[in-house]
Amino acid sequence: MLKRIAQFWDVPPANALAALTLIALVPRLVAAIFSQGYFAHDDHFLIVEAAASWVAGFDYNYWLPWNQGADPTPSGHSFFYVGLHYLLFSALKVLGITDPKSTMLIVRLLHALWSLIVVRVGHRIALRLSNEVIAWRTGLFLALFCFMPFLAVRNLVEVACIPFLMLGAWQFIRRAHGPTWTDALIAGLWIGMAMNVRFQTIFFAVGPGLALLLQRRWLHSITYGLGILLPLAAIQGGIDSFLWGRPFAELTQYVMYNLANTTTYGVLPWYNYLLLLAGIFMPPLSLAVLFGFFRRRSPLLLWLPVLLFLAIHSYFPNKQERFMFPILPLFFILGFMAWEQWRKASAWWQKRSGLWNGVLIFVWALNLLLLPFLCTTYSKRSRVEALYSLRDQGRITGIVLDDVEEDEPMMPPLFYLGQWDLEIVPWGTAMADQHLGQWLDSMDIERRPDIALFIGQENLVERIARMEAEYGAVEIIGRSDPGFVDRVVHWLNPVNRNETIVLARLRPHHRTAD
């Protein structure tokens, strides 16, 4: 058995690219089917929720200028990726597919297929820059890293832009003698498309241009710049001109907002992303990859953009782990190739091949242990199931979000409810000193909430009693529990809340507003 595994690792099949595609497809299809929910706030509320509300004739976050009143202001978001979802949701609606879970299954399947480009192009880059064995091993890691299928089916712009970056990188190094000016143009087009998805990839885009200038390839640098500008002008410029009457309005607002909010979302040390890279590919392999990346600075056309992206994000005070996602595959490819080539030439490692084999056994064992769990992770399960189960309650006038642990309770994913014209009353710790009944009675009688979501089980009996005393009768109609991984994460670190949500029907007292 071990001999067969070693042979599989050391001897690429005749058609390695096709084999890697199939190997990568399996866990991504599993994730598309079973990994429901959403990863973080942005991959749902800035993409799915926005697009779905537009299809329903609403604009829940008021991004569109005609819904903002007399003085509309851009929100600082690219409308390209969310616009693609809007077109997809509109087409599915025409076909009669309106159930949110069915809709998201299709979305995840499309993202799973899109992510295969990363594995295929990653293998080609590694093959161009190393040899068949190293390229095969690189492709296996890209295909089977435990976190990649889970992220691949999410709606994160930081992940959706990666195939474009990989295609641009491949265009630069596909020829042994270096890129032609047309290669630079096409690479610019691909990277410009990545910027349409994720504005911050501009820090990556600067790298190849600077490398071309350092290599004194003047024509290449010009055509590369034109390649980037064409999709930006056509897509960002076109959409913003239609919405705001001027090109690049959203991009301008995005830059202004981030400059004004450099510390709003927290400040982490400059080395935070280095720690992320030292851990995400599983130590000690990740340490080898980190060593390999910084040891070899070639090819400069790929190495420099990854370095600039890392350096600029490390300098910027606001750091979130997902900001590094766009460069993860390329960082791994460059680092792993450099490590493998150095290790093969190292006399010290040649004498200790068993040590490295032990490292690989540990990494692969841990990775394959985690892979099925992450591929079937139902992230934010309690929130999704709570709103989805309310579809059986008929039309709802409003929802009270009762939470005694957070200043502002979580945002409800209304996409799974399928209703947008309802009152949402977030009742967190910031409202603890106020009278809930008086607050609700001040609303128009037709918009007073008739549903409560009790988020978390802390002091649940007292909270229900308060709701009954101040507002009306409370009838428990359901309960939504977190998924397995959510519970494990809470067990590992109680800071991550284990949100059990109790659903209740409210029957307000017959009172009139003051």
Question: 10 Å Cβ neighbour count for 464?
Answer: 17
- CA dist., res. 191 & res. 163, Å (int): 9
**C-alpha to C-alpha distance for 189 and 17, rounded to whole angstroms:** 25
46 CB neighbour count, 10 Å cutoff: 21
> Which pLDDT belongs to residue 490?
64
Partners of 476 in the beta sheet? 504
Range 332-336 average pLDDT: 97
Check pLDDT > 80 for residue 123. yes
User: What are the distances in angstroms from CA 500 to CA 430, 454, 470, 495?
Assistant: 21, 8, 23, 15
CA angle 303, 309, 315 (to 5 degrees): 130
Q: What is the pLDDT of residue 352?
A: 85
Taking CA 160 as the corner, what is the angle to CA 194 and CA 258, rounded to the nearest 5 degrees?
A: 65
pLDDT tens for residues 11-53? 899 999 999 999 999 999 999 999 999 988 899 999 999 999 9
Give yes or no for residue 513 having a pLDDT over 90: no
Ranges 304-313, 324-333, 381-390, 464-473: which has the least confidence: 464-473
Cβ–Cβ under 8 Å, residues 111 and 152: yes
**What is the token pair recorded at 146?**
């435990």
Mind listing the pLDDT tens digit for each residue in 381-424?
A: 999 999 999 999 889 999 999 987 777 888 999 999 999 989 89
For residue 504, the SS3 value is: strand
Question: Model-level pTM?
Answer: 0.94
- Rounded-to-integer distance, Cα 28 and Cα 114, Å: 10
DSSP code at position 423: E
The predicted pLDDT at position 385 comes to 95
HSE-CB for 336 with a 13 A CA cutoff: 30
Extended beta strands in 428-471, E state? 451-455
Q: What is the mean pLDDT of residues 227-248?
A: 94
Q: How many CB atoms lie within 10 A of CB 347?
A: 7
